[in-house]
Structures are given as C-alpha cells and as structure tokens.
Amino acid sequence: MTITTCVFDAYGTLFDVNAAAREAAEEPGRDAFASVWSKIAATWRERQLRYTWLRATYGTHTDFWSVTTHALDYALEAHGIADPDLRDRLLQLYWELAAYPEVPSMLAALKAAGLRTAILSNGSPEMLGGAVESAGIGDVLDAVLSVEQVGVFKPHRSVYDLVGQTFGAARGEVLFVSSNCWDACAATGYGFVTAWVNRRGEPVDRLPWRPVHEMSDLTGIPRLAGAA
C-alpha cells in the first residue's frame, strides 16, 4: 500500500527530551547540577515512561504534565538534589523543548510531496502546543493528536485508533515513527508501517512484534514514505 500519512511520536522522536536538563546545566550558577544532569535526565525520562505504563495498567489516568512533574520529583530526590528553583526551571524548559535539527526539513519534504503529517503523543494538548510553537513546525503538521482524547496512554490500541478516526487512512497507508522501540513494536502489531528511530544504538525490545524499519535519525523518513 502507498504511504499517505506520516505520524510521529513527539517526545524523544521530534523533540529532544534531554534538552531541558542540558540547557539548565549550562546556565550560570548550576555547577552541581551540571555534573549530574545527564543522569538526572535519564532517570526523569525512565520514570516518566514507567508511570504512563503503570497508570494505563492501573486504570488511573492523569495528564502527561502530572506524570512529567512526578517523574522529575523522583529523579531529583534519587540523585540527592533539593532545589525548588532548579525544579521550576526544568519544568519551564520542558515546555520549550528543542526539536532535533533534521525535523523541520524532514516534515517540509513530506508536505511538499503531498503527504499528511501528524503527531500522536502521550503529551497533553497544551504541552504539545507549546513544543510545536517553540519548534516552529505548526505549518507542516496537519494534526496534533493527544492521548487525552481517549484517556489512556500508549501503547493502548485506542490511541492508535485516533489516526484512522482523524484521517480515514487504512492502517497500511500509515508510516508511524517513534524513538521508543516498544511504541514502534505496538504500532507494528496494530498494522501500521513502522520506523524506530534508534538514536542511541540500543537492542530491539523483545516483544511480540518488531519495528518494520530502523534508523539512527529522521533524515531517511521522506525516502521511506516515498517522498524522496
């Protein structure tokens, strides 16, 4: 089937989830944080994802901003940092996460070829709106879809249903792109054509399905979608 629609996970795929901690570490007066920022960022992200899975399993959904703040509080405590000003600054920066360098030109190439583009994310609409605006990519996206529309986090199948409900596309017409292997695996099982953006060279997750494609960044997406 010809790809008509390209759908992207947001955090870690289009937007650099480490950017908030990295930027804070570069600010004057944060020498102590600068020495451990990468470890805190890793713990923050790990707990953020873990809490989405657990809440989906428990049936106790909350918005992604709450999950993000809870994960940060855990990460700071786990690394022995009690600094309310730093916490507030990290949360502020999370609303302004930088897009990866190849994102604007990649999305522009897809749109120039006539493909539909969208975000499908655990993020709340407000968080996603802030990130899209900060990255300046709103004009090359046809839709920004949030799990808040169904009230459960990925990889619940109802989240992937949002793509067909929005675009009317058959599953085989959708190229779904994620930096989370588990997300790409679930989307493969759902019936999407999938691409896992494996920026860190990690092993594939041992799950019932595998990503259809694997790449180190997003530059090859237009070629996969038939736009180059």
Instruction: Measure the CA–CA gap between 26 and 37, rounded to whole angstroms.
Output: 10
Catalytic residue among 9, 63, 142, 217: 9
Helical ranges in 59-124 per DSSP H: 64-78, 84-94, 103-112
Q: Is 6 helix (H, G, I), strand (E, B) or coil?
A: strand
Q: Among candidates 33, 63, 36, which has minimal Cα distance to 51?
A: 63
Query: What's the rounded Cα separation, in Å, for the pair 112 and 6?
Result: 13
CA distances from 120 to 73, 133, 134, 146, 153 (A): 26, 16, 18, 6, 11
- Catalytic site residue 161? no
Catalytic residue set: 9
